[in-house]
Amino acid sequence: MKRIAALIVSIQLAIGGTVFAAGDQQPDTNAVLQGLRGIVRAADEASISSDLGFPIASLPFKEGESFSKGDVLATFECGDIQAQLKSAEAALAAAQIAVANDERLARSNAAGKFEVELSRAKANQAAGEADAYRSKLGRCTIAAPFDGRIGAMPSHAHETPEPSRPIMHIVASNDLLIDVLVPSIWLRWLRSGEQFSMRIDETTKTLPVDIIRIGATVDPVSQTVKITGRFSGDTTGVLPGMSGPTTFKPPGE
């Protein structure tokens, strides 16, 4: 009985001051449905970490600061990798010289096919090692994958971060989404592309929102489904984590 009571309470709708439960008739399509809260989140976010095991050389941005896609977010002290790369490139050059010499000898019948293939294999191995160091050296600089802001910065310059510990958390600043849990009974009329509004508690602004996705499953306990929307108005001052009540208006019959 407690479970049934919880289900009924969880899917009640506050509509124009009147409470409707799932067993009631579908509300008048001219009614305005209010009270469900939406939560703002960034469309893109990421926790940045590194597996290099080298000290951080620089962190150009601080918590809360904005950056553009491609900006350098962090650099590492990678002198050891640079030295290893130079050594690998020298080994590759020597292996390539050996290949050219063996091929020349083979044309004069002074070297066999086996010697030529062996020198080529050694050159390929040296090339692979050089590529591995180049790839590792490329990870010594972390560039921003999108426009955004620094959400958190637990690390500091000159520290050597552990591979499992994020250096920073970043969030997109130019694309905000809104998640709302709505009663599954609304799927009778709710569609992607429709619009609702949300009043942001922290700014007191009311902004229009376009529905871009409707969840693929219904929670069997709460009888709700998640919808995701995107603001279609000016979002200046709106930050991820803000929330507020929403207003839906079912389409007219």
Q: What is the pLDDT of residues 62-116, one digit of tens each?
A: 999 999 999 999 999 999 999 999 999 999 999 999 999 988 888 888 778 888 8
For residue 18, pLDDT beyond 60: no
Q: What is the DSSP string of 74-104?
A: EEE--HHHHHHHHHHHHHHHHHHHHHHHHHH
Class of domain 79-139: mainly alpha
Strand ranges of the sheet holding 56-58, from the earlier edge strand across to the other edge: 56-58, 72-76, 141-143
* Band (252; pLDDT cuts 50, 70, 90): low
Class of domain 2-43+175-248: mainly beta
Torsional sign, CA 129, 131, 135, 138: positive
Cα(63)–Cα(198) distance, rounded to whole angstroms? 28
Q: What is the pLDDT of residues 224-245, one digit of tens each?
A: 999 999 999 888 889 999 999 9
For residue 11, pLDDT beyond 60: no
Q: Which helix (H) or strand (E) holds 127?
A: helix 113-138
Mean pLDDT across the stretch 16-24? 37
Place of tokens 């602004």: 205
* Band (2; pLDDT cuts 50, 70, 90): very low
- Predicted confidence at residue 40, as pLDDT, reads 96
We find that the CATH architecture of domain 46-74+143-172 is Beta Barrel (2.40)
Q: What is the pLDDT of residues 164-183, one digit of tens each?
A: 789 999 999 888 999 999 99
- Predicted confidence at residue 109, as pLDDT, reads 82
* Band (32; pLDDT cuts 50, 70, 90): low
Q: With pLDDT > 90 as the criterion, what percentage of the chain qualifies?
A: 70
Backbone angles phi, psi at 192, to 5 degrees: -65, 145
Cα(79)–Cα(133) distance, rounded to whole angstroms? 12
Domain ranges of the chain: 2-43+175-248, 46-74+143-172, 79-139
Q: With pLDDT > 70 as the criterion, what percentage of the chain qualifies?
A: 87
- Predicted confidence at residue 13, as pLDDT, reads 38
Q: What is the pLDDT of residues 190-227, one digit of tens each?
A: 999 999 999 999 999 999 999 999 999 999 999 999 99
Query: What are the structure tokens assigned to 123, written together?
Result: 């050159």
Q: What is the pLDDT of residues 49-63, one digit of tens each?
A: 999 989 999 999 999
Predicted model pTM? 0.69
